[in-house]
Structure 1
Amino acid sequence: MAAKFVILDRDTPMMLPPDLRDWISEDSMVHFIVDAVEALEIKGFGINERGSGSAQYPPQMMLSLLIYCYATKRFSSREIERATYTDIAVRYICGGDLHPDHDTICAFRLKNREAFKEVFTKVLLLGVELGHLKKIGGISIDGTKIKANASKHAAVSYKRAGEMIAQLEQEIEELVRKAEDADSAPLDDGLVLPDEIKRREDRKAALERACRTMEERYEETRREKEREYAAKKAKRETERQAGKKPRGKEPQPPSETPPDDMQYNFTDEESRIMKAGNGKHYEQAYNAQAAVDTEGSMLIVGQYVTAHANDKQELPVAAASVDPAIREVDTVCADTGYFCEKAVLEVEDDDGPMVYCAVEKQSHHRTVEDLLKKAEPVPPPDDAPVKEKMAFRLKTQAGRTVYKKRKETVEPVFGIIKTILGFRGFLLRGLDKVSIEWDLITAAYNFKRLHKLCGGNLLEFTKILPQRS
């Protein structure tokens, strides 16, 4: 008896169904995104209110298109345009026969950051309404390096820039002398003296601009180091006056000029060379920050992008990125990269949230000793340094329980964004523009996560719609 197969017929013409929803499963995320965007009533769209020129695509449709495509691993405007022809869910978003081109998609993305910020906040408020996000609770913060749309080989160090400027000045002088000397040997075929002089002058101007930019960036760091130097010097002087011998080497004032290895990238000057992955290689990147709910939802409740290569100064900024209308933060968890006495005091000041920040590297492996029940540690004196108090806080049973949530919340979120959503590099350039991309990817993550929390169906969501209307 011969094997049986389902009949496959690609030749008979077939019409789309009268309702595209007949081709999309009821639990598809696209239904949730379309209905949620309509219900959120976003008001921050940049649209032509005068009605002049060509008709505009509905902004809610464009927003739903971006969020759905970002949640399904499509970030390029050209790739999104193609999806309006090939993906049935995307065609449903666009009403079946609307196909915004890549220029329109890119322009909408660039001029609607306020709308993206608004949707990020309102989808979280929707999570509160649905009972999936608590109004009071903790957050776990962390940062991840996202590759910039620039090669690290397009960068120059401060030292190398200075050397190249000196070399170009010398070459310009030689070429000028050659131009003034009528008896000088001619250049190779196709080369013209004025063009060669101008090429070097333009390159020299670009390098000088790079040096000025690096000097301006360093000045902010230098002032901070100057304050630290003055504080250390005053502390040692106080110890000497008390008859104590200060320990360690004498503090040195910061250099007046940037370090030799400070970098400037000509393709994306606001990006930085940063340690990436396991810290054994470097990439031209941005530092994307996220504050994640630790109360069970795993929603991103705060986010932003910075060009700072490390997280030492990010603790207060990350904590403040959470809108009080979304979450009253009572605890903040962070790894050792965020620990800074000044930052901890700033967050906890004026009845701020309690910070649980590691003061040294901690192994993820649990030894046999870690499994044994331990007595509560002896608290340090009231005048103990912040670092000593923090170490004690993390050794208590309550501290270990709170800090344990860090690696269970924010680290998986970055794994989902990079692996499941496939977002590993920015397409745009400049801090403002990459921040738009991070707004979109974190909003798309939250839509995807909230859809999952709703059980993959719209019943839970639709029951609140009559209350909103």
Structure 2
Amino acid sequence: MQSGGTYLQGYNCQLAVDSDHQVIVAVGVSNQPPDVGHLEPMLERLAASAGALPDVMTMDARYWSEDNAGHCEDPGIDAYIATGRLPHGQPLPPKRGPMPKDADAKARMVRKIRSKKGSRIYAQRKAIVEPVNGQIKQARGLRRFLLRGLKKVDGEWHLIAATHNLRWVPFIGQFRPLTSLTQDGWNMVRPQCRPRGEFCLQGNCEVLHGNTATGSGPG
């Protein structure tokens, strides 16, 4: 995988986490670093794993594209995708008022996330998917793969996700039914809960062969 102008023996790991149980409901592994091309395959994995697509989904800026906004809109997912930082000195777009008639998909998404509802929903990412990253990489110390090759690493990544979810099995019955999910970039044994909800997605978590690994935070 190419990173920073060099080639690494590393992988881009995707995971989707549900907001009520912090269980991983879909995963993916690739040797391609850009996250923007991984959303559509992750939606297919979510539908296969949970039996339905989520009602609401949040994603960081690495997933933004007009095509990805359409991939979410077509099946009825209420998506909140960060669109990236504004250039230095450029004022923030207004939160209220009529939307310009010539506003493109990016402008509409910016307005949506800056709204009161959108800000509240997107802010939940840091309490949904980031703790899962921390539990896997920091608490469990899983910062590198033991196997090589995309197929083997995919199996190892599924095993890591499954063992993460098994830790939550005794507590799942104590939580509310599934209502939300965040995608980050990491699959689980599906809990007995309502399949549609809010998910959080994140990716570009590089897990390398060697002594070091790097991960990315939310956009």
User: TM-score, with normalisation over the residues of structure 1?
Assistant: 0.33
Q: Distance in 2 between matches of 1:301 and 1:386?
A: 28
CA radius of gyration, larger in: 1
Deviation of residue 432 (structure 1)? 1.0
1 or 2 for the larger relative contact order (CA 8 Å, sep ≥6)? Answer: 2
**Corresponding residue number in structure 2 for 1:417:** 136
Question: Which letter maps to 1:312?
Answer: V
**Corresponding residue number in structure 2 for 1:162:** none
Q: Equivalent of 1:308, from 16, 32, 53?
A: 32
Deviation of residue 325 (structure 1)? 6.3
Runs of 4+ in structure 1 deviating by more than 4 angstroms, as ranges, are: 452-455
**Corresponding residue number in structure 2 for 1:173:** none
* Aligned residue pair count: 167
**Corresponding residue number in structure 2 for 1:285:** 10
**Corresponding residue number in structure 1 for 2:67:** 342
Report % sequence identity: 33
Which runs of 5 or more residues in structure 2 are unaligned? 87-93, 175-191, 193-219
1:165-180 correspondence to structure 2 within 5 Å? none
Pick closer, same or farther for the CA change 1:415–1:393 going to 2, 3 Å: same
Is 1:389 aligned to residue 114 of structure 2? no
SS of residue matched to 2:124: helix
Is 1:321 aligned to residue 50 of structure 2? no
Q: Distance in 2 between matches of 1:443 and 1:396?
A: 36
Contact 1:274 1:282 in 2 (8 A): yes
Deviation of residue 352 (structure 1)? 2.5
Which runs of 5 or more residues in structure 1 are unaligned? 1-271, 276-280, 363-374, 456-463, 465-469
CA deviations over 1:291-315 (Å, ceiling 9, x no partner)? 0112x21111111111111212122
Q: Distance in 2 between matches of 1:318 and 1:405?
A: 20
SS of residue matched to 1:305: strand
Deviation of residue 376 (structure 1)? 4.9
Contact 1:379 1:392 in 2 (8 A): no
**Corresponding residue number in structure 2 for 1:273:** 2
SS of residue matched to 1:438: helix
Deviation of residue 419 (structure 1)? 1.2
SS of residue matched to 1:347: helix
**Corresponding residue number in structure 2 for 1:61:** none
Contact 2:72 2:79 in 1 (8 A): yes
SS of residue matched to 2:99: coil
User: TM-score, with normalisation over the residues of structure 2?
Assistant: 0.68
CA deviations over 1:339-364 (Å, ceiling 9, x no partner)? 11111112211x420110111249xx
**Corresponding residue number in structure 1 for 2:119:** 400
CA deviations over 1:233-254 (Å, ceiling 9, x no partner)? xxxxxxxxxxxxxxxxxxxxxx
Q: Distance in 2 between matches of 1:440 and 1:404?
A: 29
Contact 1:356 1:399 in 2 (8 A): yes
Q: Equivalent of 1:443, from 155, 162, 171?
A: 162
